[in-house]
Amino acid sequence: MKIAVVGATGLVGSEMLKVLEEQGFGTSDYEIIVAASEKSVGKTIDFAGRQLIVVSVEEAIKMKPDYALFSAGASTSKKYAPMFSAEGTVVIDNSSAWRKEEGVPLVVPEVNIDTVKPENKIIANPNCSTIQMVLAISELHRKYKIKRLVISTYQSVTGTGMKAIQQLESEERHDANYEKVYPYAIHRNLFPHGGDFQADGYTSEEQKLVDETRKILNDYSIGITATVVRVPVVGGHSESVNIEFANDFEMADVVELLKATKGVEVLDDIENNVYPMPIYAHGKNEVFVGRIRRDFSNANSLNLWVVADNIRKGAATNAVQIMQELIKKQ
């Protein structure tokens, strides 16, 4: 089997390679093709004890991989994903390019892998903040039916890519010699600004939480409002999620449902100060949920604190898991 990683030199692409190796794709049964922009062609990347040589995207298309995992930006996906699929390759795309496209499944495998049909040659990986929240609430929605979600995020700089990490680290060192990717300093600061501002006052990152959650849960009746905040953190995204259900619930049952949700780990022991944090989630594949408590200000309402490594479950892990599920179905 041939698997291509497009954008293999980037933050998410290199994490995809790590996850592939961890998941057993480092054996000789799999040919791993690494592609990036022209400037990286010929560079080598260490993978499972061997060195892979970076090829151009055009070259990767000619090699007709079975699967192509994309994380090279939306314009690269728009241009190249159809060219891969024309060759029979199944593309799993981490960018926003195809997420809203009708007929393109938007997939969190534990929640809706059944939406992928054999004819789908492009599959979209959702936005990082959406993946972790949807996974946490999916079983609760099935049982109690969500009416409304109020989400506030505390998003890691890793969501903005390598240059954002460099900005934070340069500011920490008081080193003025860096390329600024944020409009303000992020060290000792935060800003309520993720993505671009829209005419209605929301940001594109906030809009993704609304649109993608409805598409994944296939429920356009859910009221959703979000505030996305960028914080000087590198290990993962945190989210405060307030949920109003149509039906009342038992707290013990909520905890049991969360514990039973595949891919979710409950970390909720306030007596011992146990709750999810980015320093704990960093490098892990699970979505961590804690601070589980009833919202006494409103009927049938609940508060959750949800943390995950946005580069792992929010991007690379989710993409690899989609591919693993499709391989199982073959």
Residues noted as catalytic: 128, 237
Q: What is the DSSP-derived secondary structure letter of residue 144? A: H
Nearer to ligand A2P, 26 or 73 (CB): 73
Task: Report, in Å, the least distance between residue 266 CB and ligand A2P.
Answer: 32
Token representation of residue 75: 């314009």
- The answer to whether 108 and 216 are in contact (CB under 8 A) is yes
Q: How far is the CB of 161 from ligand A2P (least distance, A)?
A: 4
Q: Which residues bind ligand A2P (CB under 6 A)?
A: 7-11, 13, 36-37, 39-40, 57, 72-73, 76, 161-162
Give 9 or 155: the residue with its C-beta nearer to ligand A2P.
9
Tell me which residue has its CB nearest to ligand A2P: 10
Closest CA to 241 of 209, 212, 286: 209
Distance CA 80, CA 85 (A): 9
* Strands of 146-155's sheet in order across: 223-230, 146-155, 237-245, 301-308, 287-294, 264-266
Q: State the minimum distance, in angstroms, from the CB of residue 87 to ligand A2P.
A: 17
* Close Cβ partners of 154 (under 8 Å, ≥ 6 residues apart): 190, 229, 231, 233, 237, 238, 239, 240
* Closer by beta carbon to ligand A2P, 162 or else 231: 162
Sign of CA dihedral 32, 33, 37, 42: positive
Choice between 311 and 326, CB closer to ligand A2P:
311
Minimum gap (Å) between residue 164 Cβ and ligand A2P: 9
Q: Are 92 and 68 in contact (CB under 8 A)?
A: yes
